Amino acid sequence: MRWPALPYAGWSDTCATLHMWTQVVGKIRMAKSPHQNHWWHVPLYVTTSGLTTSPVPDNDRNFEIDFDFQDHRLRIATSDDRHLDFALEPMTVADFYDRVMRCLRDLQIGVHIDTLPSEVPNPLRFEDDRVHKSYDAAAAHRFWQSLVCSDNVLKEFRARFIGKVSPVHFFWGGFDLAVSRFSGRRAPKHAPVDGISQKMIDEAYSHECSSVGWWPGGNGVDASYFAYTYPEPQGLSNARVRPAAAAWNDALHEFILPYDAVRSAANPEQTLMDFCESTYEAGADLAHWPRQELERAS
């Protein structure tokens, strides 16, 4: 699959709308799923056609909600062979939320969610949001293609680690795809983060971690990859990482690599893997992780 162009200016309205739509679906998964460490019961996952909740428990059955960015449908299926779907097309968040909840009621799936979006400034409750209403099908398809390309590399990177490591998650709060490796050691209490509850922060960063991921852009900034180590070891900002287009961002305390630098490279997969490996190695070495106990022998 090719790595498509995804300039933020060309699809910013659709991106903002999809962010809210995925929050509706993600909050349903969160409300119905058993709580997992680091809030791993919250994210969505990349599929062959879009994003999915994966199977969600519902008493003696389960259900799954899928965004299909090829046929542009929102599909809900249950393990007792019931199915409902509707077209992904321009509609307000309020209308999307209403359609999803009506489908769940028709499928006799009872759920209550907090309708206030997470991790965004000046949030509008889903039922009141008639601001976000764009859906450019071609842009949504390119977004999914970018996710697939990135997901494949991040899964390969994940497989090289035998210590504790997360799945490759799509976090609908920050609207990003990420994977985290853990040293196994407890971490100091994380400072507060605007828009995120301290309870969530404390559990997400309870242990030392090294994370890398992809973000589709926002606030005028194009898509990019990011990498960070928590807690941030002294000297990390001065570490040399690959490729040359990667750089430390003082405001974010992360390494940032423009998505365009990856997709335009002669070998995008190796370029992204270099970023994953070099940023992990820089943080793990400076933090004195027991790397020989955590990494798969080549």
User: Nearest-CA neighbor of 267 among 243, 296, 295?
Assistant: 243
Confidence band for 200, pLDDT divided at 50, 70 and 90: confident
Q: Does a structural domain hold residue 2?
A: no
Are residues 113 and 220 located together in one domain of the fold?
A: no
Confidence band for 207, pLDDT divided at 50, 70 and 90: very high
Are residues 101 and 242 located together in one domain of the fold?
A: no
**Which residue did the predictor score with more confidence, 97 or 190?**
97
Residue with tokens 């992780």: 289
Of 100, 128, 156, the last residue of a domain is 128
- Any idea what DSSP says for residue 25? H
Asked if 260 contacts 243 with a C-beta cutoff of 8 angstroms, the reply is no
Residue with tokens 């709060």: 173
Is the pLDDT score of 201 beyond 90? no
Residue 256 CA to residue 171 CA, distance in Å, equals 18
Are residues 147 and 289 located together in one domain of the fold?
A: yes
Of 106, 128, 150, the last residue of a domain is 128
Q: pLDDT tens, 178-195?
A: 999 999 999 999 988 887
Domain count, the chain: 2
Are residues 159 and 209 located together in one domain of the fold?
A: yes
Q: Does a structural domain hold residue 64?
A: yes
Confidence band for 202, pLDDT divided at 50, 70 and 90: confident
Are residues 122 and 148 located together in one domain of the fold?
A: no
Q: Does a structural domain hold residue 3?
A: no
Are residues 121 and 144 located together in one domain of the fold?
A: no
- Please report the pLDDT score of residue 1 as a whole number: 66
- Give the range of the structural domain holding residue 59, as residue numbers without chain letter: 8-128
Are residues 93 and 149 located together in one domain of the fold?
A: no
Task: Read off the pLDDT of each residue in 43-60 and give the average, rounded to a whole number.
Answer: 98
**Which residue did the predictor score with more confidence, 191 or 83?**
83
Task: Read off the pLDDT of each residue in 222-243 and give the average, rounded to a whole number.
Answer: 98
3-class DSSP state of 256: strand
Task: Read off the pLDDT of each residue in 87-100 and give the average, rounded to a whole number.
Answer: 98
Task: Read off the pLDDT of each residue in 109-124 and give the average, rounded to a whole number.
Answer: 96
Q: Does a structural domain hold residue 151?
A: yes
Are residues 191 and 232 located together in one domain of the fold?
A: yes
CA distances from 194 to 119, 122, 153, 198, 296 (A): 8, 12, 30, 9, 37
